Amino acid sequence: MRRSPLSVPIIFLLLAALSCAAAQDDPEARYQEFRSRLVEMYNAKEYEEIAALIEENYDRFTGKYSNMSYNMALVCMRLEDYDRAIRYLEKAHEKGHFFNVWAFQGEQWAPLREREEFDGIIARNLAMKDEAQKRAKPQIEVSVPEDFDTTRTYPLFIALHGGGENIGVFRPNWRSDVMEREFIIAWVQSSQVVSMNGFSWEEQETTRREVREAYEKVCAEYPVDAGEVLIGGFSSGGYGSLVVTFFEEAVPVKGFVSLCPPMPENVTAAEVAAARERGVRGTIITTELDNRVPAQRAMADLLRDNGLQYQFVMTLDIGHWYPGNFPALLDRAIEHIRSD
């Protein structure tokens, strides 16, 4: 059964505050500054002005054709200019760029669904994604404490990005003082393609294999304390963390930290009891407006009913994203896992 998207980074929902000085030197920062301007205009309902601005700057950001086309198509839907929406979606494909696999699930695209050209766009998008999948490989980055000493062992934190993200997007958000000061951190990027530069942890067998291989690689190259292995992640990464915790015995997880995760549907009382016997502890962090709160509460109930030591943390209604005090919450979750 196909699950709902694990994390959908819709362009207009993620805001980034970037300095003008950084934007002058960094192409990504220049694009993020441009995107922030589009967000402000979109919130002000300046749709015609946005369309003109995107058209004028379309080729300015050569690596962002799918983003620019998607933004233009989204605005064209507001303007009921469906022909231009189709044209710009096709334009991204002509440039060799495809869209997020969840990009067209919203009801705002309903007027295009009866058009034959849109069916062609969806089919071509899937074909391009499948071609990218053939070339995709997992990636890993490792960071160590500032006073790293090869003569002693360190706890390991395996960090998994959200759906549609990559290490570069995820790493600045998933951080805490304790984790960075005391842990070897393995930042693992999935091979499961969902967009041009975005990946997810949806497929359980692939997730287990890739995290297991990452764990083995880190242990072969760094002095890891195998008795203190933690895993965590945002959204899809939170899902992947639970999959590894309950189903991948080769990774000796001591505890998990899952932020706004979907719930693996196949975790049963038996898996939770086995994890409890291994001494596993965990924390589920969510927000009042996260759309998976009922399932997250049900998972918390399953942990409670089977004696696994856990925390369930509900923060303010920011939706499916990082709470402002997330570093402190992450430190608190780590402390809970390490406590006797």
Three-state SS at 254 = strand
Identify which of 152, 220, 140 has the alpha carbon closest to the alpha carbon of residue 185: 140
Whole-number pLDDT of residue 98: 98
Is there a contact between 249 and 325 (Cβ–Cβ < 8 Å)?
no
Is there a contact between 300 and 286 (Cβ–Cβ < 8 Å)?
no
Dist. CA 23–CA 95, nearest whole Å: 24
The DSSP element (H or E) to which 220 belongs, if any, is helix 204-221
Name 184's bridge partners: 156
Is there a contact between 217 and 140 (Cβ–Cβ < 8 Å)?
yes
Identify which of 244, 252, 302 has the alpha carbon closest to the alpha carbon of residue 279: 252
Q: Report yes or no on whether pTM surpasses 0.85.
A: yes
Dist. CA 173–CA 179, nearest whole Å: 13
Q: Which residues are CB-neighbours of 164 under 8 A, at least 6 positions away?
A: 5, 7, 8, 9, 100, 102, 194, 195, 198, 199, 200, 236
CATH architecture assignment, domain 136-338: 3-Layer(aba) Sandwich (3.40)
Whole-number pLDDT of residue 26: 82
Mean pLDDT for the chain overall: 92
Whole-number pLDDT of residue 234: 98
Is there a contact between 230 and 204 (Cβ–Cβ < 8 Å)?
no
The DSSP element (H or E) to which 200 belongs, if any, is strand 199-200
Is there a contact between 31 and 61 (Cβ–Cβ < 8 Å)?
yes
For the chain, list residues with pLDDT below 70. 1-25, 340
On the CB side of 271, CA atoms within 13 Å amount to 15
Whole-number pLDDT of residue 24: 53
Q: Which residues are CB-neighbours of 80 under 8 A, at least 6 positions away?
A: 111
Domain range summary for the chain, segments of one domain joined by +: 11-133, 136-338
Q: Extract the tokens encoding 52.
A: 């003109």
Whole-number pLDDT of residue 259: 98
| C-beta pairs of 38-47 under 8 Å, 24+ apart in sequence | 38/12, 38/71, 39/12, 39/15, 42/12, 42/75, 45/78, 47/75, 47/78, 47/79
DSSP string, 260-298: SPPPPTT--HHHHHHHHHTT-EEEEEEETT-TTHHHHHH
Q: Compute how many other C-beta atoms are within 10 angstroms of the C-beta atom of residue 18.
A: 17
Three-state SS at 181 = helix
Based on the number of CB atoms within 10 Å of its own CB, is 318 exposed (0-12), middle (13-18) or buried (19 or more)? middle
